[in-house]
Structure 1
Amino acid sequence: MTMTEDRAEQRSDDTALRPFTVQFAQEDLDDLRTRVRETRWPERETVDDASQGVQLQVVQQLAQRWADDYDWRAVELRLNELPQFVTRIDGLDIHFIHVRSAHEGALPMIVTHGWPGSVIEQLKIIGPLTDPTAHGASAEDAFHLVIPSLPGHGFSATPDATGWDPIRIAKAWVQLMRRIGYERYVAQGGDWGNAVTEQMALLTPPGLIGIHTNMPATVPDAIQAALSAGEPAPEDLSPEERGAWDQLAFFYAHGLAYAQEMGNRPQTLYGLADSPVGLAAWMLDHDSRSYDLIARVFAGGSEGLTAQDILDNVTLYWLTNTAVSSARLYWESKLPFFAPKGVTLPVAVSVFPDEIYAAPRSWSAQAYPNLIHFNRLDRGGHFAAWEQPDLFSREMRAAFRSLR
């Protein structure tokens, strides 16, 4: 079954778990390469840093690699080696990867990506979590993994009406786990994945026993109010809390442009659907630490991500034409992103230092009264599973060990 055939089946009322494979036409790949090579470039930025946005040199290095030395078929092969399915939930076709562990007693876990992520973010953790004994861990720490594509992202269908916010997606994920047959499971997410996962926890569905987040929503109301008003940091903050304040203040001052545009005017972003280089630059400008890492990668540095990794993810957005549809999630959601939501289920938190903000233990304990795991890692950022899969996998094992 090709990508095109699966898209055509969106009209079906079938609620079965339908096998799915990925195969784009060669003409689509040729068109992509041509568009990259024919990019009309602007002049270089007039500063010597990234304060005006994604730098020309970085994007030209990316484009050169994309046009001359990139193999999309390799990621198609990786995806098609995994069990993939599509099923219709609430009128929409949802794509997901489902890998069962061979170990008896494995704990089912649904893992949700964010923006500008995709299921490609989670590919590196599938082996370590489903087959832990092959990766130096215990069989008792095994997981069955369900990794869906958010609506309007990747291989899931694009909503043709409003209403697909994190709350509705959470309800769909609960139905997905029930349809697969899992009666006891956990959920994980960062970025939009955290928003969806916390909403799942708030639904308290039968079977969901706990959640893990690598981008928790913990910012106290008083802190958020002070940040929004541009006030100075409160004097009674601990060093850990002051570090989080500084990160948040920087993000609100310099890192929200993409979210504001997508939250207010997502349909205006036609250029992202027409120019692959324009799409890549937009996706690179998510947060400063991720951008710095990616800039080092295309300059030849050795990092947790490779140039192939980055291009795999951007190419997925391009080939599925989901730049604008994925942006609409920012328009749909009315949830305060970093505010505590009142989750009472068991919650595990992993804090990666180069995340948008490193949540302090004090804020986490206040936001999640049933905090079962909290750990600060020494490296890693926003795309933790993708960038630091070994650390991330160890965190998953530790996070849920008490719930098995």
Structure 2
Amino acid sequence: MNKYGFIVTIMVVLTLGNAQLANANRPQAVSEPSQADSIRSFQAHIPEAELSELRRRINETKWPDRETVKDQSQGTQLETMKELARYWAKDYDWRKFEAKLNGYPQYITNIDGLDIHFIHVRSKHKGALPIILTHGWPGSFVEMMKIIDPLSNPTAYGGKASDAFDVVIPSLPGYGFSEKPTEPGWGPDRIANAWIELMKRLGYTKYVAQGGDWGAIITDLMAVKAPEGLIGVHSNMPGTVPADIEKALHCGDSMPDGLSPEEKRAYEQLQFFNKHLGYAELMGTRPQTLTALADSPIGLAAFLLDHDEKSLKLMSDAFRGKPGGLSRDEILDDITLYWLTNTAISSARLYWENKYPFFGVKGVKIPTAVSVFPDELYEAPRSWAEQAYPKLYYYNVLDKGGHFAAWEQPALFTNELRSAFRKLR
């Protein structure tokens, strides 16, 4: 069995029978599965000692000086982090989240030598369309949990039985409860292959895929491979930027002539993001240098909050008593998962493994749907989307929502997936 970098007790039910695991450092099954492609049930039960140690470390944080500006232009602000620390140590309840998580069917299966954790909820409605949802960084499967029930049980959430999905949400390698790669090679291409294998292993001969952030890149690459059964994809962070625009941005050239107002806006948004990519550049070149993130929960939290300007404001506001799309508990569910699984560094290595431009065209030729949220890193113009995805059949611009759209605006996001994939059923 594989190592997990955290102390955890899990209940594993093998496909051939029940087997209980309990080892403080390395979960071990009573009996190994007889087939390499077996699927084992999983539940998370973090020992209380780990939670007590987390609170101790939070309370013993050595704080930096306050930023010298009145805004967040220097990064995550000290006031935000002190309030986060107070709430995390005194009021946050991991057990509440753990119980909610364990209320969903979770599994582990070994693909290409790596144990992959995933949530799998089959709809009660006949003819449900299988969908694989892929998260990104600094997110996790936590991003998608609000949309599981509306997608799988639409009649309870304002939808029709014909809108139902079977929902599959895997954890990226090195994230959450998936195993951490111990050698190079687990980049987006290999993950795309693993997800194709996962859907095949689950017995699906017709399915769709969706992703944002890393999930968008991985979903695009699944579509490029065009495996039998994958009939369409949806992205909320589409790869649409033309090669000449990508080159101008990379070289720091001035804005090319002839762009439409929507294209100019997208160019300016990408310019701004490229100037604030410090976290991605560090993870993409020196992920192991971030060792301090594995030692300080507050250091980890400050780093995870600062993904982009608008998301940082959204999350900071939650700790200032101005909740928007995310609550304090929801933000800490994700951060605590990173801490308890010790995945700060293993998740960062995906940036080091990646060889693709974040927003560049990948060459998708299968049916594609795009949803544009206004607070995303850039708002993909229809003109670019139509060039990037020759079989673009759905394009919609929303009036609210950002980078973590499914997490921030679950009702809107659910409706987007229902509308986008209705044509492909």
* TM-score with structure 2 setting the length: 0.93
Tell me the SS of whatever aligns to 1:393: helix
Give the distance between the partners of 1:12 and 1:292, measured in 2 at CA: 47
Matched, 1:310 2:331: yes
Q: CA RMSD in A?
A: 1.4
Alignment of 1:375 with 2:396, yes or no, is: yes
Is 1:97 the counterpart of 2:119? The answer is: yes
Q: Give 2:179's aligned amino acid.
A: A
Of 7, 10, 31, the residue aligned with 1:2 is 10
The residue number in structure 2 matching 1:355 is 376
Distance 1:225 1:84 in 2: 43
Partner of 1:267: 288
Q: Which moved more, 1:229-238 or 1:297-306?
A: 229-238
Alignment of 1:296 with 2:332, yes or no, is no
1-structure distance, mates of 2:292, 2:312: 21
Which residue of 92, 105, 111 corresponds with 2:133?
Answer: 111
Equivalenced residue count is 403
In structure 1, C-alpha distance between the alignment counterparts of 2:150 and 2:193, rounded to whole Å: 28
C-alpha distance in 2 between matches for 1:249 and 1:50: 19
3-state SS of 2:351 partner = helix
Q: C-alpha distance in 2, partners of 1:54/1:96?
A: 31
Cα distance in 2 between the residues matched to 1:177 and 1:341: 22
Task: Give the structure 1 partner of residue 170 of structure 2.
Answer: 148
Task: Please show how residues 242-253 of structure 1 align to structure 2 within 5 Å.
Answer: 242-253=264-275
The one-letter code matched in structure 1 to 2:346 is: S
Which residue does 2:353 correspond to in 1? Answer: 332
**Residue 85 to residue 294, structure 1, CA distance change in 2 (3 Å):** same
- Taking the TM superposition and a 5 Å limit, the aligned residue runs for 1:62-77 are 62-77=84-99
Q: Which residue of 1 aligns with 2:277?
A: 256
1:242 maps to amino acid: K
1:402 aligns with 423
**Structure 1 position 235, deviation (Å):** 3.5
Residues 68-110 of structure 1, C-alpha deviations (whole Å, 9 max, x = no match): 1100001100110000000011000000000000110000000
Q: Equivalents in 2 of 1:331, 1:226: separation in Å?
A: 23
Q: Which segment is superposed worse, 90-99 or 4-13?
A: 4-13
Q: Could you tell me how far 1:222 is from its partner in structure 2? A: 1.2
The residue type equivalent to 1:279 in the other structure is L
TM superposition shift of 1:9: 4.4
- Structure with greater proportional helix content: 1
Q: SS of 1:244's equivalent? A: helix
Runs (4 or more) in structure 1 with deviation over 4 Å come to: 3-7, 9-14
Distance apart, 1:15 and its partner CA: 2.3
Q: Distance in 2 between matches of 1:118 and 1:306?
A: 16
Q: Deviations over 1:308-327 (max 9, x none)?
A: 00000000000000000000
Q: Percent identity?
A: 59
Contact persistence 2:217–2:358 (CA under 8 A): yes
Q: Following the alignment from structure 1 to structure 2, what is the Cα–Cα distance between the partners of residues 381 and 98?
A: 26
Output the CA distance in 2 between the equivalents of 1:228 and 1:158. 31
Shift of 1:177: 0.5
- Cα distance per residue 1:247-302 (max 9 Å; x no partner): 1111011x200000000011111100000000000001111000011111110013
Letter in 2 for 1:79: L
Name the CA distance, whole Å, in 2 between partners of 1:246 and 1:339.
Answer: 16
Q: Which residues of 2 match residues 377-396 of structure 1 at below 5 A? A: 377-396=398-417
Task: Tell me what 1:79 maps to.
Answer: 101
**1:190 and 2:212 correspond:** yes
1: distance between equivalents of 2:22 and 2:197? 24
2:209 corresponds to which letter in structure 1? A
- Whole-Å separation in 1 of the counterparts to 2:139 and 2:44: 18
Where does 1:200-215 land on structure 2 (aligned, <5 Å)? 200-215=222-237
Match for 2:393: what amino acid? I
How far apart in 2 are the matches of 1:91 and 1:302? 42
Amino acid across the alignment from 1:385: A
- The whole-number CA distance in structure 2 between the counterparts of 1:375 and 1:293 is 23
Deviation at 1:5, TM superposition (A): 4.6
Question: Which of 83, 86, 102 is matched with 1:61 structurally?
Answer: 83
State the shift of 1:12 in Å. Answer: 5.6
2:3 maps to none
Distance (Å, rounded) in 1 between the aligned partners of 2:267 and 2:190: 31
1:284 and 1:388 mapped to 2: Cα distance? 18
Give distance in 2, aligned partners of 1:238 and 1:204.
32
Alignment of 1:16 with 2:38, yes or no, is yes
Q: Which residue pairs with 1:216 in the alignment? A: 238
In structure 2, the gaps of 5 or more residues are 1-8, 12-20
Q: Which amino acid aligns with 2:99?
A: L
- For 1:167 and 1:393, the matched residues in 2 are separated by 27
* TM-score under structure 1 length normalisation: 0.97
Amino acid at match of 2:397: R
Contact 2:314 / 2:323 at 8 angstroms: preserved in 1? no
Contact 2:241 2:360 in 1 (8 A): yes
Task: Give the partner amino acid of 1:179.
Answer: R
Match status 1:36 vs 2:58: yes
Distance 2:183 2:239 in 1: 28
User: How far 1:135 moved relative to its partner?
Assistant: 0.6
CA distance in 1, matches of 2:135, 2:346: 15
